[in-house]
Structure 1
Amino acid sequence: MLNGRTDDLPEDFEDDGPQPALPGQPSLALPRADEDIDLDALDEAVNGNRIQPRKPARQQDRRNDRKGRRESRPESRQDARADAELPREPELSDERGKKSREEQAAAPSLPAGTRRVLYVSVVPDEQAEVVITDNGQVAEYFVEMAHQAKIRGNIYKGVINNVDINLQAAFVNFGSGKNGFLQIDEVHPEYWLNHHDSSKGPKYPPIQKVLRNGQEVLVQVVKEPAGTKGAFLTTWISLAGRYLVLTPGQEQIGVSRKVEDSEERARLKELLAGIEPGEDMGVIIRTASEGASKTSIQKDLQYLKRLWKDIRRKGMTEKAPCLIYQEADLAARAVRDYLAEDIHEIWVDDEATQAAIRETTNLLFPRRTEMVKLHQDPRQTLWERFNLQRQLEEVTSREVVLPSGGRLVFDQTEALMAIDINSGKTQGKSNFESMVFRTNMEAAEAIARHLRLRDIGGQVVIDFIEMRDRNHCREVEKTLRNAMRLDRARHDVGRMSSFGLLELVRQRTGTSAISISTEPCPFCHGTGVRRNMEWQALQTLREIQRKLSRLSAQENRKKGGDRNGDKPAVLVYDADFELGLYLLNKKRDRLGELESKYNAHVEIHLKH
């Protein structure tokens, strides 16, 4: 029995009674899956747990969403969890309800006729790359490497090592290197050791009164460790399936805000009317559920409930700290989250990966048996075969060339990402304004695409070429906003100033291909510049002169003692290869003068 109701339950649901809960977790009554349903196939091939990036929304939408949130759920959790909030549903009039879908203000979508292809390139047990193209242009790019395995989305059983009163946070040992960071607003009330009434005081209690050292908690990684900082953790668990997101401990039922088609939202809400996730549990219907049948959604719900039941059981028996549930690999996540009707083909260059992906596609699209294809040409890579190599190299390049001949220049600073736009060639004054407008329009499209490909987060400042016509400025702003609508990450685009500057902020969705595959230069240490050879040579000559002066003083103190004549002293100086050659070729005369002055011999040793 779920929530005391039995009339709306599907026929294949059976009540197996209340289940034991983890320490600090609510006791839930989960239904048992019917043995006739092939849940194992879904388990292995389709579903997994992934925290999706927050979908873009207007400022008013976000304000409306906050009003409808449950008081017991932390607000910061809403900003970090995708598809995990209830959107404010607009009221539909009868007249609007009669309109066709084509007449509705549809969700951000690709133009009609766009051919989308998914590519997966794998180095077994080492690396995986996933690329999605729209008509041959790279639209999405993801990379994972074994030496930088991602833990985001994983669920662990951890132990609180330290409760910091000043930070109002706990540091949790969850068995993965550095301790994780758990804020008080990320702690489910069921873990509180003492009762707190938010109506009579602050929303959250002092962390030292509700948590203690040595307490065991079930946590999920929200943000990867970065530098010296540990992973960001939460106890608000979410399990993402193909069509649904299950949220244990949160009673909410809703539709992902990215499903903006009014008729489709209404249809999905009707499907939700017959879904009972269970006591103290909630579900969010994901974007991928558009067009899905009620049976498919019910199967996904059953799978997620069984998955949560297994996680909870394992959390009770395993000794902390330990891994309870591991997120699927990149290839499996890409198929789960991006495979839809608009994907025409899937190309893979690894047979084992092809078999796993084909198993998934056969379940989801049984009539499209030939959509997964294997690249077997040893003479060229998968990227070379489909002319994608140059586009992928652009992702890590500082400059991007536009079709009209203009260039985008990306410069990352500590505070923000600066993007400069340089114009192409022009012929005469009469064509200058049209050239500027064309270049800025191309730049707006390209910038939105590269923000996704590079996963640039934080503040971004774009220096557009200055335009005199205000209509052109508004057109460029509109083009940028429309291009940004395809971005899965939360973002906010400002307006262009009189100087041609436009600011926007974007939420980073994960670990980008750039951060995974690059490292700071050992010479410039990430600044992009270094001292030139002349400056380095002059500083080296100063250092050599100081050492010769010190060596000469030592030799002078030894005069009158047991010395072997006036044999010149020898100074050995180790220099980098490039600097050493410069000294020997360009500063030989100056070295000779120093040798004569201090009656010494200087040897330059080249370091390789």
Structure 2
Amino acid sequence: MSNELYISATPQGDRIALSQNKRLIEYHFDETEHQYSVGDIYFGTVKKVVSGLNAAFIDIGYEKDAFLHYHDLSPNINSLNKFTKDVIAKRPINLRLKNFNLEPQIDKLGKIGDVLQKNQPILVQVVKEPISSKGPRLSCDISIAGRYIVLVPFSNSVNISKKITSKQERQRLHKLLTSVKPENFGVIVRTVAEGKEVADLQRDLENCVEKWDNGMKQLKNAKPRERIISEMDRAASILRDMLNDDFDSIVVDTKETFDSLRSLLQNIAPQKEKILKLHTGKSKLFEQYGIEKQIKSLFGRSVSLPSGGYLIIEHTEALHVIDVNSGNKSTSEIDQEATALSVNKEAAIEIARQLRLRDMGGIVVIDFIDMKKVENKRDVHEVLKDEMKTDRSKYTILPISKFGLSQITRQRVRPEMNVVTREACPACGGTGTIQASIAVTDHIENHIEYLFTKQNEKKISIILHPFIHAYYKQGLISRQMKWFFKYKKWVNIIKDTSLGMVEYHFLDRNGDEIELNN
């Protein structure tokens, strides 16, 4: 199994695609101006305490106040509040919590009014980004994620990931981290720490403590609404959480991103630095590696399955509904039960992929094709569970009911990823009529002649639909070569599947688009 990560920069932000064996499994858009990412720590102010909800609304600068429930306060909230007040007041205090006296933990069934008051300053962490009309969801259970461990201030426990099953390894890690962790810091050991050397774990621990220390130095002079500690960008966090021996390619198209990720790799996995590549080709990164085509085909209302079946995916405010259909697969098996089992297994694999790809959260209801045999329903359920194992979000899958329905709850921490796959026709602008498509080549020829003879361009490039691109490239002496013989200047031709059949763009020698009078 191979993993490939592709990062393409746009003026609005970075497009991030993660593929497995050339199949797209995750797609993210990391906006340049994006705020309130999961993991960010803010210096907020309590705006309202609502006893009926046992929650408070916190101002961290978003247009709507963020939501903080009592259960998200952390048992050590009193220690956090005491430390925050000391730092803001610039009292002499060790920012790394050495010799800090922890306050008693709060009651799990207590009331928020006993802990927080209006206008109180508070340190909070974003656990869910703003979704729909809701503001961010917050927690006071502060944590700082590293490659191998998660650092938890105001705690002294060492917890090991349940996915590390070896008793001997769990004991080794527990003993090791207990001996090296700083005072008044707890540690959660991540799955990827299994088998790692003490030097790797200690370096990761020190990086997390230093990140906390730098954030607290900033808190000394911070103003309300200010971000104190920032989580990594989406691409870096994917690498931090998922980088393993299966990763064999990371391709980016800007020098800034290349330098940033190279620095990260040198820190967390120096042996993987060689898999990082800078894309310098003439065609777009997503175009060259087939990502653009997969995005356009996978985000529609209807998603095809390999054997002829298809999924219909509908989204509502409350839940997502996925309907499985057999399509032209219905006549290819011996009987209806065999057909249903075959299509449902394919559908289960694709559905697990779609949940990650679109980052669908909340309640998901899947209407599988009816199966009569209990063992067949169990088989499909097991396939779905196996495919969901690689999902980083928390989820619960219920067995298929007698109505053929499977219900999934999946943690949603950021808005669902949605890509518009139905586009207004660039040629007709939605009117339904276009200039005769047969004449498009004549228009291109006229523009080339005008640019070379009248405008005296030295070098030009044309971005075209693949069909028109092939028309100019085919033949022993192609039309592209004939232009060179005629004008003694070379025309670079670039294909782009995102363009309409009769759409084209001319670029000058600097790569800037040339305005044309059609």
Name the TM-score, length of structure 2 as normaliser. Answer: 0.71
**1:174 & 1:482 partners in 2: Cα distance?**
40
Q: Alpha carbons of 1:301 and 1:479: their partners in 2 closer, same or farther (altered >3 Å)?
A: same
Q: Alpha carbons of 1:140 and 1:226: their partners in 2 closer, same or farther (altered >3 Å)?
A: closer
User: Is 1:488 the equivalent of 2:392?
Assistant: yes
Residue 182 of structure 2 is matched in structure 1 by 277
Which amino acid in structure 2 is aligned with residue 177 of structure 1? E
Conserved? CA contact 1:142–1:512, under 8 Å = no
User: Is 1:139 the equivalent of 2:25?
Assistant: yes
Conserved? CA contact 1:218–1:315, under 8 Å = no
User: Is 1:337 the equivalent of 2:241?
Assistant: yes
Which amino acid in structure 2 is aligned with residue 392 of structure 1? I
Alignment of 1:378-417 (within 5 A): 378=282, 380-417=283-320
Residue 159 of structure 2 is matched in structure 1 by 254
Residue 268 of structure 1 is matched in structure 2 by 173
Cα offset for 1:454? 1.3
Structure 1 counterpart of 2:6, from 109, 114, 119: 119
Q: Alpha carbons of 1:488 and 1:335: their partners in 2 closer, same or farther (altered >3 Å)?
A: closer
Residue 439 of structure 1 is matched in structure 2 by 343
Unaligned runs of 5+ in 1: 1-113, 522-608
Residue 321 of structure 1 is matched in structure 2 by 225
Q: Alpha carbons of 1:314 and 1:445: their partners in 2 closer, same or farther (altered >3 Å)?
A: same
Residue 234 of structure 1 is matched in structure 2 by 139
Deviations along 1:142-181, one digit per CA (max 9) or x if unpaired, are: 2222354443221111222222232222222223433222
**1:398 & 1:375 partners in 2: Cα distance?**
32
Structure 2 counterpart of 1:179, from 42, 65, 79: 65
Name the TM-score, length of structure 1 as normaliser. Answer: 0.61
Which deviates further from its counterpart, 310-319 or 425-434? Answer: 425-434
Conserved? CA contact 1:153–1:326, under 8 Å = yes
**1:132 & 1:215 partners in 2: Cα distance?**
42
Query: Secondary structure at 1:513's aligned position in 2?
Result: coil
Cα offset for 1:434? 2.7
Residue 190 of structure 1 is matched in structure 2 by 79
**1:145 & 1:235 partners in 2: Cα distance?**
26
Query: Secondary structure at 1:317's aligned position in 2?
Result: coil
Conserved? CA contact 1:424–1:439, under 8 Å = no
Q: Alpha carbons of 1:512 and 1:236: their partners in 2 closer, same or farther (altered >3 Å)?
A: same
Query: Secondary structure at 1:495's aligned position in 2?
Result: coil
Deviations along 1:120-156, one digit per CA (max 9) or x if unpaired, are: 11125x2112222111111222222235444322111
Query: Secondary structure at 2:26's aligned position in 1?
Result: strand
**2:271 & 2:363 partners in 1: Cα distance?**
45
Structure 2 counterpart of 1:302, from 206, 209, 222: 206
Which deviates further from its counterpart, 428-437 or 498-507? Answer: 428-437
Cα offset for 1:495? 1.7
Which deviates further from its counterpart, 249-258 or 268-277? Answer: 268-277
Deviations along 1:288-309, one digit per CA (max 9) or x if unpaired, are: 3233210111111122222212
Alignment of 1:11-26 (within 5 A): none
Q: Alpha carbons of 1:118 and 1:259: their partners in 2 closer, same or farther (altered >3 Å)?
A: farther
Alignment of 1:450-461 (within 5 A): 450-461=354-365
**1:396 & 1:427 partners in 2: Cα distance?**
28
Which amino acid in structure 1 is aligned with residue 352 of structure 2? A
**1:371 & 1:447 partners in 2: Cα distance?**
30
Please tell me the root mean square deviation across aligned C-alpha atoms, in Å.
2.8
Which amino acid in structure 2 is aligned with residue 325 of structure 1? I
**2:131 & 2:315 partners in 1: Cα distance?**
17
Alignment of 1:63-82 (within 5 A): none
Conserved? CA contact 1:277–1:283, under 8 Å = no
Residue 440 of structure 2 is matched in structure 1 by none
User: Is 1:170 the equivalent of 2:64?
Assistant: no
Cα offset for 1:489? 1.6
Q: Alpha carbons of 1:173 and 1:502: their partners in 2 closer, same or farther (altered >3 Å)?
A: closer
Alignment of 1:420-439 (within 5 A): 420-425=323-328, 426-427=330-331, 430-439=334-343
Q: Alpha carbons of 1:481 and 1:335: their partners in 2 closer, same or farther (altered >3 Å)?
A: closer
**1:168 & 1:519 partners in 2: Cα distance?**
42
**2:258 & 2:176 partners in 1: Cα distance?**
34
Residue 373 of structure 1 is matched in structure 2 by 277
Q: Alpha carbons of 1:350 and 1:190: their partners in 2 closer, same or farther (altered >3 Å)?
A: same
Cα offset for 1:226? 2.6
Which amino acid in structure 2 is aligned with residue 427 of structure 1? T
Residue 87 of structure 2 is matched in structure 1 by none
**2:59 & 2:154 partners in 1: Cα distance?**
23
Conserved? CA contact 2:130–2:414, under 8 Å = no
Deviations along 1:58-92, one digit per CA (max 9) or x if unpaired, are: xxxxxxxxxxxxxxxxxxxxxxxxxxxxxxxxxxx
Cα offset for 1:276? 2.7
**1:332 & 1:196 partners in 2: Cα distance?**
35
Conserved? CA contact 1:349–1:374, under 8 Å = yes
**2:259 & 2:332 partners in 1: Cα distance?**
59
Conserved? CA contact 2:181–2:205, under 8 Å = no
Which amino acid in structure 2 is aligned with residue 241 of structure 1? G
Cα offset for 1:492? 1.7
Conserved? CA contact 1:161–1:172, under 8 Å = yes
Q: Alpha carbons of 1:428 and 1:441: their partners in 2 closer, same or farther (altered >3 Å)?
A: closer
**1:520 & 1:131 partners in 2: Cα distance?**
21
Conserved? CA contact 1:139–1:453, under 8 Å = yes
**1:315 & 1:428 partners in 2: Cα distance?**
66
Which deviates further from its counterpart, 267-276 or 128-137? Answer: 267-276
Identity of aligned residues (%): 35
User: Is 1:505 the equivalent of 2:409?
Assistant: yes
Residue 15 of structure 2 is matched in structure 1 by 129
**1:513 & 1:340 partners in 2: Cα distance?**
25
Cα offset for 1:208? 2.8
Residue 215 of structure 1 is matched in structure 2 by 120
Q: Alpha carbons of 1:459 and 1:221: their partners in 2 closer, same or farther (altered >3 Å)?
A: same
Cα offset for 1:430? 3.4
**2:103 & 2:155 partners in 1: Cα distance?**
18
**1:208 & 1:218 partners in 2: Cα distance?**
17
Query: Secondary structure at 1:336's aligned position in 2?
Result: helix
User: Is 1:448 the equivalent of 2:330?
Assistant: no
Q: Alpha carbons of 1:474 and 1:334: their partners in 2 closer, same or farther (altered >3 Å)?
A: closer
Structure with more relative contact order (C-alpha pairs < 8 Å, separation 6 or more): 1
**1:115 & 1:344 partners in 2: Cα distance?**
6
Conserved? CA contact 2:37–2:231, under 8 Å = yes
Q: Alpha carbons of 1:147 and 1:332: their partners in 2 closer, same or farther (altered >3 Å)?
A: same
